[in-house]
Structure 1
Amino acid sequence: MKDKKYFIAVKILFYGILIINLLLIFISVNRSSMAVLISSQFTFIVFICIAWVLIKRVFSVFFTNLFVMMDKMMNREGVPNFDHIDGTYMSQIYHQLNRLYDVLQMQQSSIEQEKSKVQSFVSDISHQLKTPLTNLHLLQEALKQSGISPEEYQDCLEKQGKQLDKIDFLIRALLKTSQLENGLIQIQPREASISQTILSALEGILVPAEKKEIEVYYDNSTDYTVLHDPKWTSEALFNVMENAIKYTPQNGKLNILLSRTEKYVKISIKDTGIGIPPADLSNIFIRFWRGNTNILEGNGIGLYLCKQIITLQHGYILVNSIVNTGSEFEIYIPL
């Protein structure tokens, strides 16, 4: 608290000498005494000198502490607690610097956590790529063997197709991550058919749905012209539909319903899958969150990307889910 003590000393000295100086001037005027006037001016000069020394000392202490704090902030060290929470401007600056340091530390911690998640994700994807690539090499060698039966040949081709699907899935996951990391989601809304956007998303999930014999229903007789980005909205819808197919057992159902409210167009995507536990509903849109399931194809990006796309278009998403019954995603886009 040295700076506060110096300021108090300067104030007391200032007001004391100011009063004395005024009295001396008053006396010198009334008595026409040059000696008293000279004494008053001398006293004022002494005051200026003393005040200069004290103020210089205060600013010296202030800037020394300020530079110490800045050095520690730049070196990511703990900032010393100067306990300068009083009425002086310098104390307020100390306090604000401490707050700034805390905010920067929190941001740095958040960035490091995100960086760690990205590195872990990329490492995980790279590791997962090794398995299908190895299997493809083995299947390729098997196909080269002479005397292989037509049935075995066809079986090898089907297995190769499955491995290629895995590689395609992993590469698309990496591409989505790259888009998010580099801020490549640029929404360019235009007036377009929302039904065509839904159909575009459906094209990407029909083959995997057919493989699992999942019945997909969508009535495209209803349509609305909506201001949206067809490309990115289709990507968002595809991510939800892909999850629905992924987490729906064999012979399940997927229903897509298009309707409207007073201010929004509503796209309902309802499945008969494994459902989402109530405790996990608040986490499903968190980046890289995958939940506690036995399904390994997830990467924790799809729903996060979906929410980002819809939010950037001033829409929102509601989720209703019952474990072992199914989930319904309601996507709202402004009209």
Structure 2
Amino acid sequence: MKRSQKFLIIFLVLTAVFSAVTAAVSAFELERVRKNTNSAVVQIIENVKEKYTEVSERELAAILNGRSENPQTESSLKKYGIDLDSDWAVYKNDGTSNFIIIANSIICAVSCLALTAVFLKYCKSQKAEAERLAGYLRKINRRNYDLELKANSEDEMSQLQSEIYKTTVMLREQADNSQKDKENLKQSLSDISHQLKTPLTSIMVMLDNIIEDENMPDDIRRDFLNDIRHSSNGISFLVQSILTLSKLDANSIVLKSKTENVKKILDECVKNTEVLAEIKGVETSVGCDDSLTLSCDFKWLCEAITNIVKNCIEHTIEGGFVKLKAEKTSLCTKITVTDNECGIAKEDLPHIFERFYKGRNSDENSVGIGLALAKTIIEKSGGSIYADSEQGKGTKFTVTLFDINNGQ
């Protein structure tokens, strides 16, 4: 129950109690007035009957229940100190009436004081609670988020306290996340700088050689230009991947799900990597039912699977293979990409999806961002990815996607 409701109930109860006490006192004293008056009337009737026997009881009753219209009778009573305009005809009733007035006045005064005390106590408690909450807010403004506000009731202040606690937790999480974001940004900038430094330095050296040596043989010049193009493509891939990851992190890329043919997706991934597979001498194959479908974003799922296939090809020796398979269960669709490379070390396996991470067997041209990008896209699609590897036998990547429209 809210504190204001409790205060209102207490106020009403006290008011009812004081009203009942006042009514009881008044009723008790009025009963005394009735008895005094009746006693006086009985004495008068007895005296009248004793002295005036000719007056009947009916006449006396009519006189008692009627009203005197004779002003001489009323004025004659003033001789005996009785003023009917301001006094009681029966003296005992005068004291009783004064007692009723005084008692009612005292009860009303006590009632007002009691209600005032209750109200002041309520205001004082509210003020103390408000000051306490204001103190917490000042601490929050000083970035002190280590506060615990636990509401013990359901009144307005407790609800406000609960909301302040929620806000404090939210601000603390935002502060922690902000600090983590700063650290991640610092690390990312360091990694990007490191990844760009080598190819840019190589490009600058080769360009200087080309510019300074006018008599450079054409075949060497051609090799330099090919190396520059290769380094430029690597830089372009790195920049595009970083931009894509940033957009995915910022939720500025909307994944639109619709029913797509899974074999068509896998064939597209093989097509995207066929040049690299030919250069490396790696065979790629697809095993999938032609009728298998999946609710997904065709473009972005192809981007994710292509990065996985590309990683497998890069780490497979000449004459090796990379196999893509897909199967549907009652709950999900599983896509696997398997190679027969040398495998991933156990120490590296938990980190292969981290950005800019390069394992012991990574190619010197690898930037360590392809698998991180694939993982981000798959998770944005409502799926999951994990890798299982054994050194000397190969690696198997398993992508699990639930066939639902995730609404992204």
* Range class of TM-score, shorter chain: 0.7 to 0.9
Across the aligned residues of Structure 1 and Structure 2, the Cα RMSD in angstroms comes to 3.7
Find the counterpart in structure 2 of residue 183 from structure 1: 251
Query: Aligned in 2, Cα 1:245/1:74: closer, same or farther, shift over 3 Å?
Result: farther
AA partner of residue 390 (structure 2)? I
Aligned partner of 2:240 in structure 1 is: 172
1:197 equivalent to 2:197? Answer no
Residue 326 of structure 1 is matched in structure 2 by 394
Asked if residue 73 in structure 1 is aligned to residue 140 in structure 2, the reply is: yes
Note if 1:114 corresponds to 2:112.
Answer: no
1:215-259 deviation digits (Å, cap 9, x = unpaired): 322257735343321111111112222332344455432111233
After superposition, what is the alpha-carbon deviation per residue over 1:258-295, rounded to whole angstroms, capped at 9, x for unaligned?
3333454432111223434557656555x537265463
Q: Kindly indicate whether residue 140 of structure 2 is the aligned counterpart of residue 142 of structure 1.
A: no
Match of 1:231 among 292, 299, 321: 299
Percent sequence identity is 22
**Separation (CA, whole Å) in 2 of partners of 1:245 and 1:196:** 20
**Which deviates more from structure 2 when the two are superposed, residues 89-98 or residues 139-148?**
89-98
Map Cα deviations across residues 130-153 of structure 1 (whole Å, 9 max, x no partner). Answer: 332232122123234233234423
Q: Which residue in the other structure is 2:229 paired with?
A: 161
Distance of 2:152 and 2:26 partners within structure 1: 41
Worse overlay, 314-323 or 41-50: 314-323
Structure 1 position 105, deviation (Å): 0.9
2:29 maps to which residue?
Answer: 31
Partner AA of 1:182 in structure 2 = A
Paired residues of 2:307 and 2:371 also in contact (CA < 8 A): yes
TM-score by length of 2: 0.67
Describe the shift of the 1:31–1:315 C-alpha distance in structure 2 as closer, same or farther (beyond 3 A): same
- 8 Å contact kept, 2:210–2:216: yes
Shift in Å at residue 300 of structure 1? 6.0
* Equivalent position of 1:252 in the other structure: 320
Partner of 1:208: 276
Mean CA deviation greater in 152-161 or 87-96: 87-96
For 2:128 and 2:342, locate their aligned partners in 1 and report how far apart those are by CA, in whole Å. Answer: 66
Q: Go from structure 1 to structure 2 and tell me whether the alpha carbon gap of 1:220 and 1:42 turns closer, same or farther (over 3 Å shift).
A: closer
Q: Which moved more, 1:243-252 or 1:173-182?
A: 243-252
Deviations 1:148-190 (A, max 9, x none): 2344234323322331232123212222222123312311122
The alignment status of 1:243 with 2:311, answered yes or no, reads yes
- Larger gyration radius, structure 1 or structure 2: 2
1:305 Cα shift? Answer: 4.0
Q: Are the equivalent residues in 2 in contact too, given 1:290–1:298 (CA < 8 A)? A: no
In the TM superposition, residue 85 of structure 1 has moved relative to its aligned partner by 6.2
**Are the structure 2 counterparts of residues 107 and 132 from structure 1 closer, same or farther at C-alpha, using a change threshold of 3 Å?**
same
Deviations 1:68-98 (A, max 9, x none): 212322331245667x764574457546634
Match of residue 132 from structure 1: 199
Q: Which moved more, 1:54-63 or 1:16-25?
A: 16-25
Q: Secondary structure at the match of 2:203?
A: helix
Residue deviations 1:272-328 (CA, integer Å, cap 9, x gap): 23434557656555x537265463666665444434433444444353322343221
TM-score, normalised to structure 1's length?
0.79
Counterpart amino acid of residue 132 in structure 2:
N
CA contact (8 A) 1:215 1:251 kept: yes
- Aligned partner of 1:76: which letter? R
- Does the 8 Å contact 1:72/1:79 carry over to 2? no
Asked if 1:273 corresponds to 2:341, the answer is: yes
Matched residue, 2:70: none
**Distance across 2 between alignment mates of 1:228 and 1:34:** 88
Distance 1:41 1:273 in 2: 97
2:45 aligned with 1:47: no
Q: Which amino acid aligns with 1:29?
A: A
Q: Flag structure 1 segments of 5+ consecutive residues without an equivalent.
A: none
Aligned partner (choices 218, 224, 229) of residue 286 of structure 2: 218
For residue 169 of structure 1, what is the amino acid of its counterpart? F
Contact 1:17/1:43 (8 A) holds in 2? no
Is the CA contact 2:262–2:288 (under 8 Å) kept in the aligned structure 1? no
